[in-house]
Amino acid sequence: MATEDEGDLSARYQNTLDALSSLITKRGRFASNNQSHRFRLLFHYLKVLELEDAVSQMKIIHVAGTKGKGSTCTFSESILRCYGLRTGLFTSPHLIDVRERFRLNGIEISQEKFVDYFWCCFHKLKEKTSNEVPMPTYFCFLALLAFKIFAAEQVDVVILEVGLGGRFDATNVIQKPVVCGISSLGYDHMEILGYTLAEIAAEKAGIFKSGVPAFTVPQPDEAMHVLNEKASKLEVNLQVVEPLDSSQRLGLQGEHQYLNAGLAVALCSTFLKEIGIDDKNGLNQTNGLPAKFISGLSNAYLMGRAMVVPDLELPEEIVYYLDGAHSPESMEACAIWFSKQIKQNQERNQKRSEQILLFNCMSVRDPSLLLPRLRSKCIEQGVDFKRAIFVPNVSVYNQVGSSSEVATRVESMSWQFGLQRLWESLARGKAKSNSRSDSKGNGEDKSFVFSSLPLAVDWLRDNARQSKQVRFQVLVTGSLHLVGDLLRLIKK
């Protein structure tokens, strides 16, 4: 049973989440016309919170990008922790609990500390609000809260993942990071960042600071040209790093992670040199990395990326493959990872298996750029889905505010039926192709729409109980929110 103190903390924490939810605004994410105004307000908020000096003295690694920036930050944090540095990591989004965004020495902040720091910031800002200076929006507040936490906890290094874009992102209120990184660029959030790679690259390059070294990975020519141009204007030494050697064991799975790991190694090497640590002891002969780098890379962990989780009720019959991919390029990387996992499992397990897709994407995404890439890359790798399941966008289990409030929301199912129609059109196209090549069409491709994720999981379990000779391998992708919902549901 929970003690009285535990019960009190639980209630205080729920009240805190409710207050945080009040900062979520419908206009916040899409009102690109007032981005510059809201960004300028951040400097006022820092002053109100008396954080200007503390932030200016922080030793920061700042990372932007379309995909891989969270993984790059995670690798970096893990490496630097191996050097005995007290680390502060701020990432987004969270999967289950908002505290995941704030890690101290690799561990998410406790409920007690989160509550205390939250109200300290919330009350100070609330006292100074006016028509001209409203309360910060949701993500802006979280970024400010991160600065408060890391200042109070006196961390040695802060690793900041940009939330969206770069130039007007709340994390970009910092003036002098130690080093900056740009992970792989692609098409995402185009309604805000622009519809060309050049426009998107310009926004990401907004984190460059005069004279601060920066690193990026190989980029498309259009994007690389802009990055170089922006770096040159600010006298930034921008270097391109190659993927890490694939012989190195990584804590995060997937071939694409070697690119992110290579970027993390460059960022950490530069950071350590800047603070006076030049580790040349015990270099690995294969990849030239110090032992502490190897340890950090191999022990990195990031929930929701390339995770394999057996079902709690039917661990032998259902296995979930979780990846929060939500851009065209990350869909392909997810497909390659999933296909590789399936092939490895088939070699080890004699039980017949069926691959099932459990999919959801936010309505700001274009599913016609996601589902075809996912399906074709899987088929190219020799893996085909027998069934596909689509569920609503509502994140009932994602802990931000009151779950009872979220549960009462009703969302039209038209989006899910649209996803289903797109999937079925892809299946028909494949069947026609097979017919033309004198091959038999699968005939077993089936797709379903469920009004909630719990109903979809119940259906999977019912079918698994009836087909005990078959193992269901369920790829859950398209949205980090969906991945978080499922983790919360199956671990109940």
323 is an annotated ligand-binding site residue: yes
Sequence letter at residue 426: L
435 φψ region: left (φ > 0), alpha (ψ -120 to 50), beta (else): alpha
CA distance 358 to 322: 10
Nearest to 182 by CA among 215, 218, 221, 228: 215
305 is an annotated ligand-binding site residue: yes
Burial of 416 (0-12, 13-18, 19+ CB in 10 A): buried
153 is an annotated ligand-binding site residue: no
294, 472 in Cβ contact below 8 A? no
123 is an annotated ligand-binding site residue: no
The string of DSSP letters for 44-88 reads HHHHHTT-HHHHHH--EEEEE-SBSHHHHHHHHHHHHHTTTPPEE
Q: Give the residues across from 57 on adjacent strands.
A: none
The string of DSSP letters for 305-353 reads SSEEEE-SS-TTTEEEEE----SHHHHHHHHHHHHHHHHHHHHH--SEE
Nearest to 85 by CA among 148, 144, 150, 147: 150
Residue 90 token pair:
């701020």
263, 72 in Cβ contact below 8 A? yes
Using alpha carbons only, what angle is made at residue 218 by residues 217 and 220, rounded to the nearest 5 degrees?
Answer: 130
Neighbours of 479 (CB within 10 A): 21
Burial of 325 (0-12, 13-18, 19+ CB in 10 A): buried
225 is an annotated ligand-binding site residue: no
CA distance 126 to 133: 10
179 three-state secondary structure: strand
206 three-state secondary structure: helix
Sheet hosting strand 238-240, strand order edge to edge: 107-108, 102-104, 87-90, 157-161, 60-64, 179-182, 214-216, 238-240
For residue 93, say if its preceding peptide bond is cis, omega within 30 degrees of 0.
yes
Binding residues for ATP: 305, 323
Binding residues for Mg(2+): 92, 161, 189
Binding residues: 92, 161, 189, 305, 323
